[in-house]
Structures are given as C-alpha cells and as structure tokens.
A and B are shown apart, each in its own frame.
Chain A
Amino acid sequence: MCPAFRQRERDEWHLMSPRARALAAIGMAGVLWCGATVVASEPGRSITDTSIRWPTWPELARALALRDYNTRVVVLGTALLGVAAGVVGTFAYLRRRALMGDALSHATLPGIAIVFLLTGAKSMPLLLMGATISGVLGVLAVLGMRRMPRIKEDAAIGIVLSVFFGFGMVLFGLIQQMQTGNEAGLAGFIYGKAAAMVAGDARLIGVVAAVVVAACAALFKEFRVICFDQEYASSQGFRVPLIDLIMMGLVVMTTVVGLQAVGLILIVALLIIPAAAARFWTDDLLVMVALSGLFGGMSSLIGATLSAIVSGLPTGAMIVLCAGVFFFFSMLIAPRRGVIASAARHWLLRRRVAYQHLLRALAEYEETHGEGAAIGRKDLFSVRSWSAAQVRRTLARAVRSGDLAVLADGSVRLTQRGRVEALRILRNHRLWELYLIRHADVAPSHVDRDADEVEHVLSEAIVRDLERALDEVARVPPSPHVREPAP
C-alpha cells in the first residue's frame, strides 16, 4: 500500500470527533467479539422443543450464563441482528422511511417461494438471494408508484406489502400441494424461527452486522446530511441517490438476514422501535445511533434469553415485546422529550401562570380600592373564574414566598415585595393590550384574553421594544377597558 493512501486514511480517522472515534471503536470491537464467540463455540444441547414449561433453577442458570451452545448461538445471533437493525433503522427512521421496511420485508416472500419452486431445495444462500431480489423489486415498486398522480406513499406501501405477500402466498399454496415434504421450514420466514438458528446463520448475521456498522460509521457524515437536509446535500455535491441507495441496501441486507430470526412481519419492529425509543433521549445523531443500536441489541438479548428460559415463547415476538418495553419507558421517562417530563413542565408553567394571575388580580384591585387594600377570599372569585382549590393552593404559595400577607380577618393584601412583581405583570398585560389596540387594530374589548396569555412570557427585551413602540416608560398604563355605568 502506498504511504500516501495510508496517510489519508489516518487523516480521516483523525477528522472524526474523539467521541465518534470512541463509539466507532467500541461498536466494532463489540461486533467482532460477538462474532468470534459464535465462531469459537462448541455444539451442545438443543433448545428447540415447543411445549410451554417453566425452567428449573439449574436450567435457568445455564441459560443465563449462555452455557448451552444453541442458546449462545441464538442469543448472540439475534443480539447482533438487533444492533445492526437499530443502527441502520435510525437513519431510515429519520428519513421517514420507517414503514418502507414493512413493504420490503413482506415483498421478500415471493422471491423465497420462487427460488424454492425452481430449485426444490432449501439452499439458504439461494433463498436469501431470492428474498433480496424480490425485496428490492418491492422497494422500487413503492418508489415508482409514489411518483404516480393519486397514489400516496402510504397507499403505495400498503399495495406492495399486500400484493407481493399475496403472490408469495399463492406460490406457497402450490408448494404445499406438491408435497415434497421439504417445505416445512419455509413458514419460518413468516414468523421467524430463531430457535432453529445454527452457527452458520449467526455467523452470517455477524458479518452483515459488521458490514452495516462499519458502513454507517464510514458514511456517517453523508447519512447525516441526507437525513436532515437533502436539498442542502445535493447543493453541496453529495450524490444523494447513491447515498440513498447504499442506505436502502443496508436496510435490505439487515431485513433479509433477520427474516429467519424474527420473521417478515416483525422485522420492521426492530428497524423502527429502537430508533424511535432512542429519539426520546437525545438530539445528537451519533448518540442516537449508538443508543438505538444498544436498545436493539438489548431487546434481542433479553427477548431471546427469555424465550430460551421459558420454552414455548416465540423468540421473534418476545424480542419485539422487549423492544416495545424499551420504547414505552423511553417515551415515559426520557428527560426532555418524555411524557412525564413534558407533563411536569406543563404543570410548572400552569402553576406559574396561576400565581401571576393572582398577583395581577390583586394589583388591579388596589387600582380601584387604593394601595394596600385587602381583599376578602370570597371576593377573589368575582375577579376571575378559578377553582376554590386552585385559589387556596396559590394563596398559600404566595404567602409562603412573602408576596402576600394574611390579615386577621382572613383577607389578603400585597406585601411591598409582592406589589413590585404584581405591578410588573400588570404592566406587561397593559402594554400588550395597548400594543394590540394601536398597532394590530384589535378592538379594545378583544385584547384582554390575548394579553392574559402573553403577559407571562414577555421577555425583558420584548418589554423594552414595547416601551419604545408605545412611548410608555415608567408608569403602568391605565386599563383600556372603559367601564360604562349602567343606564
């Protein structure tokens, strides 16, 4: 190898950020280690019996320690598949191609059936090649149909999925009637038959996983740019169709080797779910890819181990269920995007809004009744429609933080500290009302509701802009709502 080339290779490695380098190295090492373990393991006891039976303790220990050869093959094979699917699934997910994988996996069926009809034998490489060809045809059909008028992408996916699958089933019907007695294993492609995985299958998955992880690491920059801004990518001279093709190729490879493990109906779950779960945790693509690979690998590991321990649980379904659990908890507890976190944020905001409404109500009361006027708790309900519990809680908080003082008769009034804050909010409210009236031509009777929401989120900079626009610098402007006396 010429030194210049080696130099360039080293440069590219150094151009990656340190974190990217560390992650890529860990990923490669993990894949290689798993591959090596599978290759080096020895044959042992079979786990392919189907009756439902809870394990004894020694069996459990054996399974958990991966002491059985077959368990080890199945668990490591599916784990590698999970990692590969998680990594490449991230890019498919971000490119909004998630359900394309579903069309792809269903479209592999006719290829498998045709190869079987033609050769009459179960030669795994040929079957997988047939699956690849018809899967790619399915993807091309989706892409082609999407360009037709009146066929939307979702319809195109549904059409390819069902018609290709139907064609596959037609061929299967023929195969079953030909009674060669050899077709039994073919159904495994539909639901997956991970328990029947042999070392050769696991090795194939290992090779594919290594290729997928390596390709994603090598083309990380290209994949990132077409995931987020395709137009920018093509304007910068990236060859988008080529990159797209490579990405789809990686998805196809992962899907095809995953058919036997989890089956063509559920393989799409391994492409989507880990990526969707990882999305909750981070905004950084590299971290997302790593997390998604981790989630995919962990759910396969746990699912396959569980189905090895409790015989009678289908492996593919267990893996998908584990991935679903990962997704569920990610959606629930992820720090920023999770449901709990955003509900908490929402709750805090509402608390703050209620607090500021209370202060403003008191400031308005002082305007009409003179500074330092105390308001009875009952009168608070005539100022604004709020629930008794809400008023009680908010009052308690305001008293605790020293913005309100409770008088002997139970009525409340603003403290000096509270008055400053209350006048600030009241002023924001009035400024916004005036702004709407003068500059947006909104009728005075319509501005209150809007200002009620905006007053809490006006930043200092915006308040300064409003002051400048309205020539209001120091005082609180009077209310624009003229109260006309009843005739």
Chain B
Amino acid sequence: MTGWNWHLDGWIVLAGVLSACSCALLGNYLVLRRMSLMGDAISHAVLPGLAIAFLVTHSRSAVPMFAGAVIAGVVTAVLSQAVNRHGKVEHGAAMGVVFSVLFALGLILIRQAADHVDLDPGCVLYGNIAQIPLEAIGGRVPPQVVNLAVVLVVDVLFVVLFYKELKISTFDPELATTLGYNADTLHYALMVLVSVTTVANFESVGSILVIAMLIVPAVTAHLLTDRLSAMIGVSLMAACLSAIGGHVFAAFGPGWLGMKAATNTSAMMAVVAGLLLCAAVLLAPRHGLVSRLLHRRQMRMTILREDILGLLHRWQEMRAEGGRAMTHREVLAAVGDTRSVRQAIRSLLRKQFVEKASGPPDAGHTYRLSGDGQARAARLIRSHRLWESYIDRHFNLPPDHVHMSAERVEHFLTPELRHEIEADLTSPRTDPHGREIPPESIGG
C-alpha cells in the first residue's frame, strides 16, 4: 500500500466502523447479562444455518442466508437452554456442547456445498473486508456496506425503542417480570438480533472477530464508566477507534516495520480493540491497575503516618525513658526500617505534625508531637481504644485478642462512628487494658 486512498480505504473503514458499532452496541447487553459467550456460541453456530440455506436455495442471496442464520442462532440459544435445564449441564459447558457440534455440522455441510460455490469456511472465520471497495464500481455503494448499515439501523432502533425494558431486564429480571415485561421475550429478541448482526458481519469481519467486537469494546467501556448510557457511548467510540486503527495498522503497519506487505484488516481490528482494552485495564480512572496501585500506596502511607503518630502519642503518654522524646532510631526499631517509613516521617515533619529536635549525642534526632499532631494522634488513639472497648463488650473475645482488630479499624472510624460507639458504651473512660480513652477534642 502506498498511501491513503479514499476510494479504497474509505469504504473499508466505513464498513469496519458500521460492523464494529453494530456489534459493540449489542455487546453491552451481552456483557452486562454475563452472556458474553452466547455471542461466541451463536457466531460459531450460524455456520450450519448458512450452509443449509445455501443447500436449499442454491443461491447466496441475502434473504435465505439471513433466515438460515437467524434460525440457527435461535436454535443455539434454545438448545443450550434446554441442555442446561433438562440435562442439568452447567451453562458454559452446555453452550460449548451445542455450538461445537453445530459448528462441526456446519463444516461438513459446507464441505458438501463447496463443490458448487465459493462458500469458504475460511472466509466465514476471518472475513474479507478488502473485497468491499471492488464492488464500488462507478460510484455504486457496495452491497455489504448497505447490509451493514441496515443492520446497524435495526440494532439502534431496537436499543432506542426498548432502552428502558432492556435496562431493567438486564439489571433486574425479576423486577422486569413484576413490571409486566417478559424478560424471556427480550432475551430471545436480543439473540435474534445478535444472530442477524453476526451474519451481516461475516463478510466483513468474520465470525471469530465478531466475538471480539461484541465483547471487547463493551468490557472496555464497562471499566471506564458507571452508567449504561455512558457505557454504550464509550463502547461505540472504542469500536470506531478499533475499526479505524485496525485498518490503518493493517494497511500501513507492516510498511512501518519495513515489510512490503499488508495484513488482514478485520483481524487487526480485534488486536486494536484488545490494545484499547489493555489501556483501559491499566489506566481506567477507578478500576484501572495503575489507579488502584496508587490508591493502595496512598492508603498504606496514610496508615503508616497514623501509626507513627500513635506510637509517639503512646510514648509520651507512658513518659518512657523519663519523659525524653523518642529518638529516630527508636521509631525505626518500632515501626520498621524501610524506605516508606522514612518517607512517612519526612511527610509528617513537612506537615508539621511532628517536631524534630536534636537528641542525645549518640542517638540522632528526637521527635515530639506538635499541637496539630497531638490532636490527630489523640483521635487515632481514641478510635483504637473505643473499638477495643466495643469489641470487648459485644464479642466474647479475650482481652488480648482485641488489639489486632483495633489496629486495623482505628484508621477508618469517622467522628460519627466514634460518637455512636461512645453512646453505645455510655461514655467509657478507659479501654479493656485500663488505659485512658482521650476525649474527642483536646480542648473540650
């Protein structure tokens, strides 16, 4: 490929976008209903439907093909339900049994048909999107693009018209039934549309890559959003991006690597969709790996800082070593000598919760709580000791077992909770170990 050509690449990208969007739109519902693999099953199992339609009518015209595929898709859904229900076979395995047998049947039938026409199983698997521009002779719109556009319109109409019903039956099928929608009817309507969409996509992206477009953009969007409408929007954007990126990388990617070749656009669409998903897995604002890692780090640092404040508070409370301030070495010995501990100490000093002074000549600095630090530490110790008293009162645990639980919970008790516990315990003065519980605010 030499450069971008609107007559060639334009049609391919348009077909890719149309097919990716129609799949991704329905895929949202499949993913949310935990039926992702139904797309997989149906896209394999429509093969015998196509083959039988062809063997019966001896033509490759659209109507019998669609009819055959829709029937096969519904048969797959019904059969896997039946095997699951009557055979008591687990759902996934039931689908596996049904779709693999139907696919095998389809392969055999296609083999019988192969003498008459080029109904090539390879084409069904990975599509032939590059053929599409060849049909656009003399300004005619390629028939595949027309098919895809019609299917997309039907899908959009279905989702828009039944938006509320689909939403309710997806998230709460029982509620849908009590409200008078038939969740089963919607389920089969969805299955029919998935079959139709799968068939329409065979010629462009192929059956296995239909699965990619059904599942991957929807999962990507699910990681990024919390609302159904936003999820649908994001999944459509991801679908468009994978279609465009897929064609660009397929046509020009090998050239950038110095190879004189181009590769399969539809396969590359799946790869790009996968890369987008990887990006979402890593970078999603709330559910991404990076943000969860950062969040966990922050949480660990907060807990460490609070542990050090608590340590200094207890040291001063006990007037250990004759009321001398705690030395740097003693803190490290108590909490552990790691980089994050030293980081936590630095951050406490920076926030002026802790004051540094020069200590005994051979022991380095000493640390003492500042006014703010004292208040914070007192709240923490208060949480700790209130929780210990609460556990001691309501759970039948020996007193030496309450510390570990309090050590974890102390960081998460809000003022309201502390207040409730205090009310529940009728304002205790000491914890089960006999130590004083500091008041909520030092002044009062």
Taking each of B92, B97, B122, B289, which has the highest tally of chain A beta carbons within 10 Å of its own beta carbon?
B97
- Are A167 and B277 within 8 A (Cβ)? no
A337, CB-defined interface residue at 8 Å: yes
Q: Which residues of B contact A152 (CB under 8 A)?
A: 31, 34, 36
Q: Which residues of A contact B274 (CB under 8 A)?
A: 159, 162-163, 166-167
**Closest A residue to B35 using CB positions:** A154
In angstroms, how far is the closest chain B Cβ from the Cβ of A108? 14
- Interface size, A (range): 35 or more
In A453-479, which residues have CB < 8 Å from any B CB? none
In angstroms, how far is the closest chain B Cβ from the Cβ of A171? 8
Decide yes or no: A52 and B115 within 8 Å by CB, A162-B215, A169-B126 being known contacts: yes
A151, CB-defined interface residue at 8 Å: yes
Decide yes or no: A269 and B101 within 8 Å by CB, A159-B215, A317-B108 being known contacts: yes
- Are A317 and B92 within 8 A (Cβ)? no
- Are B263 and A177 within 8 A (Cβ)? yes
- Are A266 and B104 within 8 A (Cβ)? yes
Contact pick for A162, options B86, B216, B259, CB 8 Å: B216
Decide yes or no: A324 and B104 within 8 Å by CB, A96-B90, A154-B36 being known contacts: yes
Map CB proximity to B onto A232-261 as digits: 1 under 8 Å, 0 otherwise.
000000000000000000000000000000
In angstroms, how far is the closest chain B Cβ from the Cβ of A388? 30
- Interface size, B (range): 35 or more
- In whole angstroms, what is the CA distance A52 to B115 when docked? 9
Q: Which residues of A contact B266 (CB under 8 A)?
A: 166, 169
* Interface of chain B: mostly helix, strand, loop or mixed: helix
**Closest A residue to B216 using CB positions:** A159
- Are B104 and A159 within 8 A (Cβ)? no
A18, CB-defined interface residue at 8 Å: no
In A148-177, which residues have CB < 8 Å from any B CB? 148-152, 154-155, 157-159, 161-163, 165-174, 177
- Are A269 and B287 within 8 A (Cβ)? no
- In whole angstroms, what is the CA distance A196 to B261 when docked? 30
- Are A98 and B90 within 8 A (Cβ)? yes
- Are A174 and B254 within 8 A (Cβ)? yes
| A-B contacts, CB under 8 A, total | 206
- In whole angstroms, what is the CA distance A265 to B271 when docked? 19
Q: Which residues of B contact A324 (CB under 8 A)?
A: 97, 100-101, 104
- Are A158 and B271 within 8 A (Cβ)? no
B66, CB-defined interface residue at 8 Å: no
Q: Which residues of A contact B125 (CB under 8 A)?
A: 190
Contact pick for B209, options A52, A166, A320, CB 8 Å: A166
- Are B108 and A162 within 8 A (Cβ)? no
Taking each of A151, A313, A339, which has the highest tally of chain B beta carbons within 10 Å of its own beta carbon?
A151
- Are B37 and A166 within 8 A (Cβ)? no
- In whole angstroms, what is the CA distance A159 to B218 when docked? 11
- Are B101 and A320 within 8 A (Cβ)? yes
**Closest B residue to A149 using CB positions:** B287
- Are B89 and A279 within 8 A (Cβ)? yes
- In whole angstroms, what is the CA distance A165 to B103 when docked? 17
In A89-138, which residues have CB < 8 Å from any B CB? 93, 96, 98-99, 102, 106
- Are A154 and B108 within 8 A (Cβ)? no
- In whole angstroms, what is the CA distance A314 to B112 when docked? 10
- Are A269 and B100 within 8 A (Cβ)? yes
Q: Which residues of A contact B263 (CB under 8 A)?
A: 170-171, 173-174, 177
Q: Which residues of B contact A69 (CB under 8 A)?
A: none
A318, CB-defined interface residue at 8 Å: yes
Contact pick for B83, options A93, A96, A166, A331, CB 8 Å: A331
B139, CB-defined interface residue at 8 Å: no
**Closest A residue to B31 using CB positions:** A155
Contact pick for B259, options A99, A174, A337, CB 8 Å: A174
Map CB proximity to A onto B215-228 as digits: 1 under 8 Å, 0 otherwise.
11001001100000
Q: Which residues of A contact B (CB under 8 A)?
A: 52, 93, 96, 98-99, 102, 106, 145, 148-152, 154-155, 157-159, 161-163, 165-174, 177-178, 187, 190-191, 265-266, 268-269, 272-273, 276, 279-280, 312-314, 316-321, 323-324, 327, 331, 337, 339, 342
Q: List 29 A-B contacts (CB under 8 A).
A: A52-B111, A96-B93, A155-B215, A158-B40, A161-B40, A161-B208, A163-B212, A163-B270, A163-B277, A166-B209, A170-B263, A170-B264, A173-B263, A173-B264, A178-B261, A187-B122, A190-B125, A191-B107, A269-B96, A269-B97, A272-B93, A273-B96, A314-B111, A316-B104, A320-B100, A320-B101, A324-B100, A327-B101, A342-B86
